[in-house]
Amino acid sequence: MTEQEANNILLECLQHTSNSRADFFKRKAIEGNYNQVTFYLDLSEAYKRIETFLNTDRLIGTDGEGNPVFTPECIFFPYAIGLKNTFGREDLLQILEPLHEFGLSLKDHFMNAIKKHEEEPKSNMKLKSFSWTGSPEQLEKLYEGLINPDYGFIDPNTDLQSFTAIFADSLTGCPAIKWKGSNRLLSYLFNQMCAMNLIVKEWQNIIGKNKLFQNTAGKYLSAHDLTSALTAINDLNHGLNPKGSDKIDTILKTLT
């Protein structure tokens, strides 16, 4: 599902009554043959995009003294779809509440992943790094692929030294890498590197504990974030690889 499709579905729920919007999301997932967990995560990202847009102000001109004048952003709807003309930041709860209700209906998927994570031997928490088994040349190829503007997975201002630092044996004072892709793509990348025996299987804990990655909103990604994202990919072994995984595969092929 594209970002625009997710945006449209999220806003389409407003054409339904407040107590039927969560069911609308579930019905759309089934009609589109989507994995429901993946569908929920796509809608959650769409909500964040809409929330960010509505929480910004638009320049509309200047006052009599030449000072800039701003107005809150809003989304305009055509009257034909039966909604009021505009949707603003004060209306966000109308889609957040049913989205939250829809997410709660899927909690068993998430809780199973969290339980599995919590039941891992505590000795795993003692690990202090990814224990990179590849060569420095492979690490440099990984960096070059991720920073490649054709892919743009990491911030273009990230230098090689900062990137390789997160794979060192000591992670003290490591600056976070700004990840520009989705949580699922980051989980896919590290899960594939784990399958290639380049890093240890406890990579979620290491990323979260050492605050090694930030998303585009500046949030440090936690082990829970990455475990949930990986669960959405696997979904009891019936999930699909996230959009953009083919680019990750291309990058990883340069390491072999």
Same domain (yes/no): 82, 141? no
Same domain (yes/no): 144, 248? yes
Comparing C-alpha atoms, which of 111, 7, 97, 11 is closest to residue 49?
Answer: 7
pTM: 0.53
Q: Tell me the pLDDT of the chain (256 aa) as tens digits.
A: 788 899 999 999 998 999 999 999 999 988 888 888 888 889 999 999 999 999 998 888 888 888 898 898 988 876 545 556 788 889 899 999 999 999 888 877 666 656 665 555 544 445 678 999 999 999 999 999 999 999 999 999 999 999 999 999 888 778 999 999 999 999 999 999 999 999 998 999 999 999 999 998 999 999 999 988 888 777 644 456 888 899 999 999 999 8
Eight-state DSSP code of residue 71: E
- Residues with Cβ within 8 Å of 180's Cβ and at least 6 positions away in sequence, in order, are 152, 153, 154, 155, 216
Q: Which domain holds residue 121?
A: 112-253
Helices 107-118 and 223-234, packing angle to 10 deg: 120
Count: domains in the chain: 2
Same domain (yes/no): 185, 160? yes
From CA 113, how far away is CA 80, in angstroms rounded? 44
Last residue of a domain, one of 70, 105, 140: 105
Last residue of a domain, one of 44, 74, 105: 105
From CA 208, how far away is CA 91, in angstroms rounded? 33
Same domain (yes/no): 155, 216? yes
Same domain (yes/no): 144, 241? yes
Chain centroid to CA 32: how far?
Answer: 21
From CA 180, how far away is CA 140, in angstroms rounded? 19
From CA 207, how far away is CA 213, in angstroms rounded? 7
